[in-house]
Amino acid sequence: MKSLSFYLVLILIFIGMSISGFQCGSPDFTGGKVHEQNKNYTGAVELYEKEVSKNPANHEAWFRLGRIRGEQLHDYKGMNEAFNQASKLSKTYNAEIFGWRYKFWAEHINRGVTAMKSATPDSVKYYDIAAEEYKGAINIWPDTVVTYLYLAAAYRGKGDTENLIECYKKAWTIGQDRSSYKEIGRIRVGQGLEKKNQFKNENADQLKIQKDVEEIEKGNYRSDITRNFGSPDLQRKDKKNPKREDWIYNKFGITLTFEGERLVNKKIDKKYEYHIDSTKYYQAIADFNQAIDIFEQIKKIDPRDNENLNMLLQAYYEAGRTQEATKTFKLAVENDPGNKMNHYILGLLYRSLDDYDSAISEFTEATKIDPNFGDAFFDIGATYYNLGVKMKKVAQEQGDESTEYKKKFKDALPWMEKVAEMKIAKAQEAAATSGQEFYAEISRDDAKVWDTLGTIYALLGQADKATKALDEADKIRKTGK
């Protein structure tokens, strides 16, 4: 019987052989190292690939395979696959893996930046070169937001909007980068506005006719109708009432009845077929709705982001979703109650919904924050004025002789007078500084202040003041900027 010591020696020999065999590695692994030392990288990759297929737990083989694929073969997808396997198996090479990835990534970024410096609107090829370099950087490090922002800059320079948007989407998906996502919303709003303008320009004549027909209402003067529609196809006198006369416009399918100089009835004989191509309009609405979805997602993350709320407001407004826009801007006011513009914009929204009391309340809050906020003063007056006009129209349609509407014009008057005083004082100060004439320092747009004042004075029976205000408006239009 062999001694126990003999068996112990045999066990130690087998253990030593197994340890020695592992350290030396398999023929494929060893051969791969030899090829790598001899700079036969293709041969090294071939043997390392054999090694990991046979021994997938060899993290060093994965690491070496990834490094050669990246550094020598520029196969970044294959590099990442190998590096990821090495990291899963062991943390041994993590620092080196990071270093290699960063090195390759930075090389592509730097080459892209260099190309961008040479790019001009007339040298688009440099944007393409930069884009390819940034794509290479993305292949190396697919989950970095900043790389997509670099690529977005190249697409922006080239004018490739759709690929620019895809980059921003990726930046949002990877890192919830709000600035990128907002930019997509801005782009969609811009595209919507462009299409909306195209729609208006392409259909301008028909849209004007539609607007003019819709705005025909009781109380219009004959001269207003003639100016917009020309002479009627047929004029028919009322035999029983010589002051009463029908004007028939066959083209538009309407019969207008006048008594004296004023319109007393509008009858639709047939529906006028407007030749309006709404394709661009609906495309614009789709763009605005996409922007709304984006800004709403950001609002869920940060409801106090007022920049986002303002952009959301614009998108809602342009999409014709004023009710939702009002809710959004109420939140903006709650977030920042000391912001006069938030109150002012909310007031405009309320007025567009015919909520005059709420509109006046918000405009008034804006003036409390800024006692010299001329636009808010004007819009308080304009809101009272609009309400008076509405009340007057309803009264006329119902045959009501009440003059209750005049109270609203009286309410509007001090606000409009205050705006006029502010405009005059500002223009006089500017004229004294510049040495120019007073009217040269007033914007042509300011004529509407005096126009509105003149109209209110006239409605209140103050003829002299009305004439003076309207004369001021004419002078501004003739000599103002």
Provide mean pLDDT across the span 53-74: 91
Q: Which among 58, 168, 57, 147 has a CA at the least distance from the CA of 101?
A: 147
Question: In the prediction, which pLDDT does 430 show?
Answer: 65
Contact assessment for residue 64 and residue 32, using Cβ atoms and an 8 Å cutoff:
yes
Average pLDDT, the chain: 85
Specify the amino acid at residue 93. Answer: Y
Looking at residue 14, its amino acid is F
Q: What is the pLDDT of residues 73-90, one digit of tens each?
A: 888 889 889 999 999 999
Q: Are 437 and 459 in contact (CB under 8 A)?
A: no
User: Is residue 184 predicted with pLDDT exceeding 70?
Assistant: yes
3 state SS for the chain? CCCHHHHHHHHHHHHHHHHHHHHHCCHHHHHHHHHHHCCCHHHHHHHHHHHHHHCCCCHHHHHHHHHHHHHCCCCHHHHHHHHHHHHHHCCCCHHHHHHHHHHHHHHHHHHHHHHHHHCCCCCHHHHHHHHHHHHHHHHHCCCCHHHHHHHHHHHHHHCCHHHHHHHHHHHHHHHCCHHHHHHHHHHHHHHHHHHHHHHHHHCHHHHHHHHHHHCCCCCCEHHHHHHHHCCCCEEEECCCCCCEEEEEECCCCEEEEEECCEEEEEEECCCCCCCCCCHHHHHHHHHHHHHHHHHHHHHHHCCCCHHHHHHHHHHHHHCCCHHHHHHHHHHHHHHCCCCHHHHHHHHHHHHHCCCHHHHHHHHHHHHHHCCCCHHHHHHHHHHHHHHHHHHHHHHHHCCCCCCCHHHHHHHHHHHHHHHHHHHHHHHHHHHHHHCCCHHHHCCHHHHHHHHHHHHHHHHCCCHHHHHHHHHHHHHHHHHCC
Residue 444 has pLDDT above 60, yes or no: no
Q: Which residue has the tokens 């869920």?
A: 300
- The pair of structure tokens assigned to 158 is 């080239």
Mean pLDDT of 430-444: 54
The two tokens of residue 126 are 């440099």
Q: Rounded CA gap, 469 and 456, in Å?
A: 10
Taking 70 as the threshold, does the pLDDT of residue 2 lie above it?
Answer: no
CB 177 within 8 A of CB 145: yes
Contact (Cβ atoms closer than 8 angstroms) between residue 471 and residue 463? no
Q: What is the pLDDT of residue 437?
A: 53
* pLDDT tens profile 265-316: 899 988 888 899 999 999 999 999 999 999 999 988 888 888 888 899 889 9
As a whole number of angstroms, the distance between CA 417 and CA 434 comes to 26
Alpha carbons 72 and 77: distance in angstroms, whole number: 13
The pLDDT of 312-321, averaged and rounded, is 91
Q: What is the pLDDT of residue 431?
A: 60
Residue with tokens 């290699």, as numbered in its chain = 100
Amino acid 325: pLDDT: 86
Residue ranges and CATH numbers for the domains of the chain are: 204-268 (3.30.1450), 337-479 (1.25.40.10)
Where is pLDDT greater, at 219 or 50?
50
| Six token digits for residue 386 | 């609009």
